[in-house]
Amino acid sequence: MSGIWGNRLKVSIFGESHGEAIGAVIDGLPPGIKLDLEAVRSQMKRRAPGQGGITTARREEDEFQILSGFFNGYTTGTPLAFIIKNNDTRSSDYEYLKNVPRPGHGDYTGKIKYRGYNDYRGGGHFSGRITAPIVFVGAICRQFLEEKGIYIGSHIKNIGKADDDSFDAVHIDKDLIFKLNVMRLPLIAEEKIKDMESEIMLAKADGDSIGGSVECAVIGLGAGLGEPFFDSVESRLAHILFSIPGVKGVEFGSGFSSVRMRGSEVNDEFYIQDGEIKTKTNHCGGILGGITNGMPIIFRVAIKPTPSIAKNQKSVDMTKMETVDLNIKGRHDPCIVPRAVPVVEAAAAIGIIDFVLEE
C-alpha cells in the first residue's frame, strides 16, 4: 500500500476509520518553524464531522497528540509524528458489509486487492476519515508558507445545481482568503448559501447524496517553481489532489472550458507593472510549461456524491455469489463537499511546500 507522498517533504499516513487512531509522520520539515497549535485546531475543526444537519452525525473532536519533532513551540527538524484518536465509532453498522460491497465505494476493490484482510469497518483505510491527518499536515505547511507570503484559500464552486461565483483569476485579495477560511460554507457570493444548503437537504430527505466542486487559489508564489515533465506543478498537485477520497476530476486555469476557445482567447498576454512581469488574464492558472509564472495558481476539484446512501441498491454477496438488496446503515454525509474544502487546501499546501523546499 502506498501511504507515503512527497520528495523533499515526505508524509506517511496510517490508520483506519474505526481503528484505535489515525495519524502521520512528517519527514523533512525544517527546524525552527514556530507552530500555532490553535491555528492547527481551527483547520481541523473545519473538516471535523458532526457539525449540523448537512454533515454526518458521527462526532469526532479530532484532537491530536504530537509524539515527536516538536519542542518548546518549534519544529526540531526531526520527523514530526502525531496521532488522532478515534472515539465515536459504531463498527457493528458495517459487519454486514464484509461480503456485500457498497456501490461506488472501495469495498470491492479493497477486498480483492488485500485478499479479504482489509479492515472494512467504516471503509477502513479507504475512508474519508483518513483526510484528518492530511489537514493536520497541511495546517503546519500553511504556517511555513504564510511566513513566506504564500496563502491558500478556496470556496465551494458548486453543489448540485447551485453555483457560486468564481475567483477573479488575476486579482485575489489576501483578505478574501482569510474570510473564506473562517466561513462554515465558504462562498464568494454569500447569498448563495441557502441554495447550497437546499441542494444538500433535498438529497438527504430523499435518502440520497449529492456532489459538487471546490475552487482553490494559491497566491504569493513567485515564478520558476516546478520541474517539467514529470514533476510539473500540475502533475504533482494533481497527484496529491486525486489521493483525496471522492475526487474524480482536477482542472487548472480555464481547464476543460479552454477546449472551446481559440489560442487568441486562451493565451495570457504579458505586460509590465511596477517592474514585474504579469499577465492580463490567467487562463493557464498560474502555470506555464509545468512551472509557476508568478500569477495566482487556480484549480478546481470535482467531488462525487457520497457513495453511502439510504436508498435501496443492488449489490452482490461475494460469499454466495448472488445478487442481493443492499440497505446501508451507519452515519454518512449527504454531501462531502463542505468538509472537503479544508482537505483540498491542505493537499495544496503539502504539494506547494515540496516545491518551495526544493528551491
Annotated binding site for NADP(+): 47
Confidence of residue 88 (pLDDT cuts 50, 70, 90): low
Q: State the chain's mean pLDDT as an integer.
A: 93
Stretch among 7-16, 61-70, 113-122, 207-216 having the lowest mean pLDDT:
113-122
Confidence of residue 343 (pLDDT cuts 50, 70, 90): very high
Q: Which amino acid is at 235?
A: S
Please tell me whether the peptide bond between 136 and the residue prior to it is cis, using omega within 30 degrees of 0.
no
| Res 247: pLDDT | 97
For 295, phi and psi rounded to 5 degrees? -85, 165
Confidence of residue 258 (pLDDT cuts 50, 70, 90): very high
Confidence of residue 329 (pLDDT cuts 50, 70, 90): confident
| Res 89: pLDDT | 63
Ranges of each domain in the chain: 4-358
pLDDT tens per residue, range 23-63? 999 999 999 999 999 999 999 999 987 655 676 655 667 89
The H-or-E segment that residue 44 falls in is helix 37-47
For Cα atoms 346, 349, 352, give the angle at the middle one, nearest 5 degrees. Answer: 150
Confidence of residue 127 (pLDDT cuts 50, 70, 90): confident
Stretch among 111-115, 314-318, 340-344 having the lowest mean pLDDT:
111-115
Confidence of residue 335 (pLDDT cuts 50, 70, 90): very high
| Res 97: pLDDT | 81
pLDDT tens per residue, range 175-203? 999 999 999 999 999 999 999 999 999 99
Residue 357, C-alpha cell as written in the block:
523546499
The whole-angstrom separation of Cα 131 and Cα 47 is 8
Start-to-end CA span in the chain (Å): 30
Q: How far is CA 218 from CA 71, 173, 222, 253, in A?
A: 30, 11, 11, 12
| Res 139: pLDDT | 98
Annotated binding site for FMN: 125-127, 289, 304-308, 331
Right CATH number for 4-358 from 3.40.50.740, 3.30.70.360, 3.60.150.10, 1.10.3470.10? 3.60.150.10
Confidence of residue 87 (pLDDT cuts 50, 70, 90): confident
Q: Report CA 288 to chain centroid distance, whole Å.
A: 24
Confidence of residue 91 (pLDDT cuts 50, 70, 90): low
| Res 2: pLDDT | 79
| Res 53: pLDDT | 61
pLDDT tens per residue, range 154-166? 999 999 999 999 9
Annotated binding site: 47, 125-127, 289, 304-308, 331
SS3 245: coil
- Estimate the crossing angle of helix 337-358 against helix 131-147, to 10 degrees: 50
Residue 218, C-alpha cell as written in the block:
494559491
